[in-house]
A = this chain, B = another copy of it.
Amino acid sequence: MINTSCLSPLPFTQVMMAARIVSLENCLEKHIPPEELQEVKRILYGKPASPLNLPEEAVKFAQSHDFELAGYKIEAAPEQLRQPRIVRIGAVQNKIVAPTNAPIAKQREALHGRIKDIVDSGALCGVNVMCFQECWTMPFAFCTREKLPWTEFAESATDGPTVKLCQELAEQHNMVIISPILERDVDHREILWNTSVVISNTGDIIGKTRKNHIPRVGDFNESTYYMEGNMGHPVFQTQFGRIGISICYSRHHPLNWLMFGINGAEIVFNPSATVGALSEPMWPIEARNAAIANSYFTVAINRVGTESFEHEFTSGDGKPAHKDFGEFYGSSYVAAPDGSRTPGLSRTRDGLLVTEVDLNLCRQIKDKWGFPMTSRLDMYANLLTDAVQHDYKPLVVNQEQK
- Give a binary string over A341-378; 1 marks a CB under 8 Å from any B CB, 0 the rest: 00000000000000000000000000011110111111
Contacting residues, chain B, for A45 (C-beta < 8 A): 281
Name the one of B21, B253, B262, B378 contacting A374, with C-beta atoms under 8 angstroms. Answer: B253
Q: Is A206 an interface residue (CB 8 A)?
A: yes
A368 CB contacts on chain B under 8 angstroms: 217
Whether the Cβ atoms of B35 and A234 lie closer than 8 Å is no
Bound Cα distance A289, B233 (Å): 21
Task: Tell which of B18, B214, B369 touches A35, judged by Cβ atoms closer than 8 Å.
Answer: B18
Whether the Cβ atoms of B397 and A36 lie closer than 8 Å is no
Q: Which residue of B lies closest to A32 (CB)?
A: B31
Question: Binding site of A, secondary structure by majority: helix, strand, loop or mixed?
Answer: mixed
Q: CB-defined interface of A229-255 with B at 8 Å, one 1/0 digit per residue? A: 000111111100010000001001111
Contact call A374/B39, Cβ cutoff below 8 A: no
Taking the nearest CB of chain B, how far is it from the CB of A174, in angstroms? 14
Residues of B within 8 A of A374 (CB): 213-216, 228, 249, 253
Which of these, B27, B387, B397, contacts A262 with CB under 8 Å? B387
Stretch at the interface among A1-9, A107-115, A117-125, A137-145: A1-9
Q: In the complex, are the beta carbons of B24 and A42 less than 8 A apart?
A: no
| C-alpha gap A371/B214 in the complex (Å) | 10
Interface presence of A285 (CB below 8 A)? yes
**Interchain nearest-CB distance for A211 vs B (Å):** 11
Of A128-136, A301-309, A388-396, which binds chain B?
A388-396
Copies in the complex: 2
Q: Which residue of B lies closest to A383 (CB)?
A: B259
The answer to whether A397 touches B39 (Cβ under 8 A) is: no
Q: Contact between A292 and B282 (Cβ–Cβ < 8 Å)?
A: yes
When distances are taken between beta carbons in the complex, the residues of chain B under 8 Å from A90 are: none
Q: Give the nearest-CB partner of A259 in chain B.
A: B383
Query: Which residues A11-40 have CB closer than 8 A to chain B?
Result: 16-21, 24, 27-28, 31-33, 35-36, 38-40
Contacting residue for A399 out of B1, B202, B242, B264, CB 8 A: B202
Instruction: Establish whether residues B35 and A212, one from each chain, have CB atoms under 8 Å apart when the complex forms.
Output: no
Q: How far is the CA of A206 from the CA of B398 in the complex (A)?
A: 7
Given the complex of chains A and B, what is the CA–CA distance between A42 and B279 in angstroms?
11
- A286 interface residue, CB < 8 Å from B? yes
| Contacting residues, chain B, for A286 (C-beta < 8 A) | 289, 292-293
Contact A293 B252 (CB under 8 A): yes
Q: Among B39, B206, B242, B369, which residue has its beta carbon within 8 angstroms of that of A20?
A: B39
Contacts of A36 in B (CB 8 A): 2, 6-7, 18-19, 21, 27, 31
Most buried by B among A6, A257, A282: A282
Q: List 23 A-B contacts (CB under 8 A).
A: A2-B35, A21-B43, A24-B43, A28-B40, A31-B31, A31-B32, A31-B33, A42-B280, A42-B281, A43-B284, A204-B400, A207-B397, A217-B370, A228-B374, A232-B395, A234-B396, A237-B397, A249-B374, A252-B293, A254-B255, A263-B394, A263-B395, A264-B396
Kindly list the 6 A-B residue pairs having the minimum CB-CB distance in the complex, ordered from nearest.
A46-B281, A254-B254, A289-B289, A18-B38, A381-B384, A19-B35
